[in-house]
Amino acid sequence: MPYLDFLMTYSSRFIDGTLITLGQFGLAALVAIVAALISGLMKMAHSKTMRAIAIIYIEIFRGTSLLVQLYWFYFVLPLFGFTLEKFTVGFLTVGLCYGAYGAELVRGAIQSVPRGQWEAALALNMSPAKRMQRIILPQALVAILPPWGNLMIEILKGTALVALISVADLMFETRQVNNNTYLSAQAFGTALIIYYIFARFMVTPIMRWLERVMARKIGRT
Amino acid sequence: MKHDKRHDLSQYPLRLEGDNVPMVRFQNVTKRYGSLTVLDGLNLDVAEGEMVTIIGPSGSGKTTVLRMLMTLETIDSGVIYVDGEPLTHMEKNGRLVRANAAHLRLIRSKIGMCFQHFNLFPHMTALGNCIEGPMQVLGLSKQEAEERALELLDLVGMADKRDQHPSRLSGGQQQRVAIARALAMRPKVMLFDEVTSALDPEVISEVTGVIRGLVDQHNLTMLMVTHQIGFAREISDRICLFFDGKIEEQGSPEMLLDNPQNERTQQFLSAVLEAN
Amino acid sequence: MLDWKMDFTWEILPRLLLAAGNTMLAAGGGYAVAVVLGLVFALAQRTRSRTLTFIVRELVEFIRSTPLLLQIFFIFYVGPQFGLRLSPWAAGLIAIGLHYAAYLSEVYRGGIENVPKGQWEAARAINLSTVTTYRRIIIPQALPPALAGMGNYLVGIFKDTPMLSVIGVAELMHTANSIGAENFRYLEPYTIVGLIFLAISLPTAWLIRRFETALRRKMGLTR
């Protein structure tokens, strides 16, 4: 079957899968941002308990595999009485996993703000919360965006694993097409190209654009 | 880097001969970065054993002069001669052509350089830094190289720190090791590129003292870029003031510093004196 | 609610530990491929040929931008379509090795590019040749920071080996799946797999950090 016919025949499956992947990616990214910010800040907190909780979360998710986590959340969590939709398990797990990696980025970015900035804010008698919110975080945000761009690509790639708990994403649909047609090069090749276009021509440019906007906002161009 | 096609190399001698061959000659040397001309038709001779200091506002191209001589920068037109032989070019079938890597390495062996930020090799001790070139390039045995290095470390007053890594040395100490490292290659020309600019004021004299000793006791040809006018006055045979990629005025320290002819020289000197 | 069965745990533990051996074998093999191939990718991008640099650069970008899982499927299933049959192990090692080679090539490049420009200039000023400059000055300084990155990707490759279960490599995840399907019990096998991963990757990551610090100190790069 010529490739064009193949594409015509199965385009709807690829499109459906792509939309699900997009949804998984967007939601997982959101979960990761929230989890990274909370745990990253907690890891720098004065309270030992807060720090311990953050460290346990970070180490568990960074110390095990995303796939192990997905299976565990999908098959084992219901035994504790939590039953979640597989779609929800998918983006939640991916988000929590990469949030743990993001936590280190948050911490690094905050620490990259020069000490003089803290001192200057203190000298203006700002409250700790104000210092963080008005002075430190805006500068940290600029520092975190480049490595966060890489993390976004990792999140996108990570969402492919949700296919293994039967979320009908691009990976899942591609396998279905492959199983129906045995046209592996066409099926997997198409999916590779779609993921690549996503990463290279959507995620990366958007992150670069954000970097420029934020840098301009704090007056670094 | 493209060589100017219209640039006619036949007007330049294949080598400098005669009685008064300078140790270094810049002949009509131009250097551009894109549309910016950093050096514009520079002509400068430095005689053997002469100490020439280059001063001038930042961006006037003074560091570029040293970097071109060390072959860290290429040139766009003109020819640089060292010890009578072309550095940037070489003779081929009776004509000058652009120097190849082997020729550059050969002529470069006559030149040593110290940098503003020392650039010591951080993973080697003070002694290791000083024997690296002699062993790897000159092919000296370890023993010979160490003897030579220790002598020089002693000269710069760093023999007792021979086994320390640069991270354990102060800026002044690092710069002194860097001077020993450069001298270990037995250069005929030494280049000092703002060697005291990155130092704390209280250690500057450690380094200037070493350079002063070199001037007094050795017949080295030296080119120095510095902001320390007082030091330049003390040790230079000649001072060149650079402005916009050209030599604005040059002469003996007394002539240039005490009796500048040129209005821009006067302005620069009064600004510098005020800052001090 | 939670009924963890100890006797079941003891029953399946040997099987899982055996599978953990396979996991480490897969990680080690994949890493060996990645270390060598990554160096090829990195050096290819430092040659003077712009075309070669461009092609390798794009290839590395492509590999890094697409899911490993998909690459595993691609390599395993596309071969037979053209008459080239790869065993699950071979396909798995190639896929994982290729994927991480792309990452490692960036680590190598970063290490080399992080050496300050002044080091190249100082080497030039004492007339070292290019080869000697790389050998004596650049690589010794590029190595310690690169080793940290290399170590992190060793842990990374280890954590990605469960993906090989999808093409039938009998590593930890695959074995846990089988146990789960045979006994209709998932709590113990999946939890144990998680614990085994933690028990290996956390100390390894810690050791790598220690090793890097020790190496930097030994080379005099820090006080």
User: Tell me: the pLDDT tens digits for C187-217?
Assistant: 999 999 999 999 999 999 899 888 888 887 8
- pLDDT band per the 50, 70, 90 thresholds, residue C222: low
Per residue in C101-112, pLDDT tens? 999 999 999 999
Q: Distances in Å between the alpha carbon of C172 and those of A73, B274, C15, C28, C169?
A: 17, 75, 9, 15, 9
> What residues of chain C lie within 8 A of the CB of A182, using their CB?
81
Per residue in C69-81, pLDDT tens? 999 999 999 988 8
Q: Would residue A195 count as lying in a domain? A: no
Q: What is the pLDDT of residue B7?
A: 66
Q: Would residue A161 count as lying in a domain? A: yes
Q: What is the pLDDT of residue A35?
A: 97
Q: Would residue A207 count as lying in a domain? A: no
C219–B123 CB contact, under 8 Å:
yes
Q: What is the pLDDT of residue C82?
A: 85
A175: closest chain C residue by CA: C73
Q: Would residue A180 count as lying in a domain? A: no
CA dihedral (A125, A131, A133, A136) positive or negative = positive
> What residues of chain A lie within 8 A of the CB of C176, using their CB?
71
Number of domains in chain A: 1
A76–C163 CB contact, under 8 Å:
no
DSSP class of B251: E
Q: What is the pLDDT of residue C166?
A: 94
Which CATH number characterizes residue A70's domain? Answer: 1.10.3720.10
Cβ-based contacts under 8 A for chains A and C: 115
B108–C129 CB contact, under 8 Å:
no
Q: A97 or A217: whose pLDDT is higher?
A: A97
Q: Would residue A179 count as lying in a domain? A: no
- B204-214 b/e (C-beta count within 10 Å ≥ 16 → b): bebbbebbeeb
- pLDDT band per the 50, 70, 90 thresholds, residue A132: confident
Contact of B78 with chain C, judged by CB distance below 8 Å, is answered with no
Q: Would residue A219 count as lying in a domain? A: no
* CA B181, chain centre distance (Å): 14
Q: What percent of chain C has pLDDT over 90?
A: 74
CA distance to partner chain A, nearest, from residue C51 (Å): 20
C127–B109 CB contact, under 8 Å:
yes
What residues make up the domain containing A137?
A: 34-170
Cβ neighbours for A205, distance < 8 A, ≥ 6 positions apart? none
Per residue in C154-184, pLDDT tens? 999 999 999 999 999 999 999 999 999 999 9
Q: What is the pLDDT of residue B253?
A: 95
> What residues of chain B lie within 8 A of the CB of C141, using their CB?
121-123
- pLDDT band per the 50, 70, 90 thresholds, residue C57: very high
B108: closest chain C residue by CA: C127
Q: Would residue A188 count as lying in a domain? A: no
Q: Would residue A55 count as lying in a domain? A: yes
CA-nearest of C196, C144, C153, C126 to C28 is C153
For chain A, what is the mean pLDDT?
92
Residues of chain B with confidence (pLDDT) below 70: 1-7, 276
- Contact A98/A159 with Cβ under 8 angstroms? no
Q: Which CATH architecture has domain C6-218?
A: Orthogonal Bundle (1.10)
Pairing relation of β-strands B85-86 and B95-98? unpaired
Per residue in A42-78, pLDDT tens? 999 889 999 999 999 999 999 999 999 999 999 998 8
